[in-house]
A = this chain, B = another copy of it.
């Protein structure tokens, strides 16, 4: 099958590598002036992997969109709207399915990524998401994982899950697209909280964080019309190992480094997602105490130890 991967950062380059690894005919697109693209063009390598010479590298978006059966998008979530406008402006007739392999919510609107993209490219375009646990570094070492494919159309979901399943990544298909997108995005915020607990030496509270993080997001998803149990599946709880406990998690490390006062240069998507969660909390009248605490620590510089103690160690009460 012909797969185009749009975006050439850590995940984009991995999906190109993986799609080729399982036998697809692969093209990877990046912006001509992006450092990631330039590095790949010059060396066909990045800090994680080497791309086979069979993988076609281009900065021509029209080529990428027209020469494929499936387009996977993996870019910074906050750039998805402008990227959608760019795709739309090319006026391409064919409707190949898009898979969003990214986790986030739009700041300002709190909108899900499938909503953002369909608003820009048209609601008749088939759009799916590919989320769940797994680190690029672990996959490249041959460590397998289960991931999840979801869309509003079960036939499409199954088609895409089959196209990408292999012994390295086993796909499950999820029915509650709303719950899956919110949960996948929000797990980065729980990852920030986990890193903060690590930073202040309270790693033992990550157990309570897991129990209560899932709970507050379950209530939010329910209020938004999703299934309150989705958060306990692969897209959120199933991603906690990779997010709350792994050295490879950018969000966990961002939280830890923030407490330790270390500079941090990599993208931690949760820093944006937590802003969007504050909007959703207000819109749907659902209290999100953990997300709120993370927000206050990052944006209003409240005392992390005091705030996190208040969150977990306050007066005796019922669960």
Residues of A near any B CB (own CB < 8 A):
133-135, 138, 143-146, 148, 158, 161-162, 165, 167, 170-175, 201-212, 214-215, 232-234, 237-242, 245, 309, 312-314, 316-319
Contact = CB atoms under 8 A, between A and B. Distances in A.
A175 B318 CA distance: 8
A214 B240 contact: no
Contacts of A242: 204, 207
A172 B133 contact: no
A273 B55 CA distance: 51
B233 A319 contact: yes
Contacts of A162: 316
Number of copies: 2
Nearest to A173: B318
A206 B161 CA distance: 21
Nearest to A197: B241
Nearest to A309: B144
23 contacts: A133-B207, A138-B204, A144-B205, A145-B204, A145-B205, A146-B312, A148-B319, A161-B316, A165-B316, A172-B316, A173-B318, A174-B319, A203-B241, A204-B241, A204-B242, A206-B241, A207-B234, A210-B210, A210-B237, A211-B234, A211-B237, A214-B232, A245-B245
Interface centre among A206, A210, A215, A312 (most CB of B within 10 A): A210
A314 B275 CA distance: 38
Given A143-B201, A202-B143, A241-B203, A208 B171 contact: no
Contacts of A171: 316
B312 A207 contact: no
Contacts of A133: 204, 207-208
A208 B245 contact: no
A289 to B, nearest CB: 14
B204 A234 contact: no
B317 A173 contact: yes
Given A144-B309, A171-B316, A215-B232, 19 more contacts: A133-B204, A133-B207, A133-B208, A135-B204, A138-B204, A143-B202, A145-B205, A146-B207, A146-B208, A162-B316, A174-B318, A175-B318, A204-B241, A205-B241, A206-B241, A209-B241, A210-B237, A210-B238, A233-B319
A34 to B, nearest CB: 29
B144 A319 contact: no
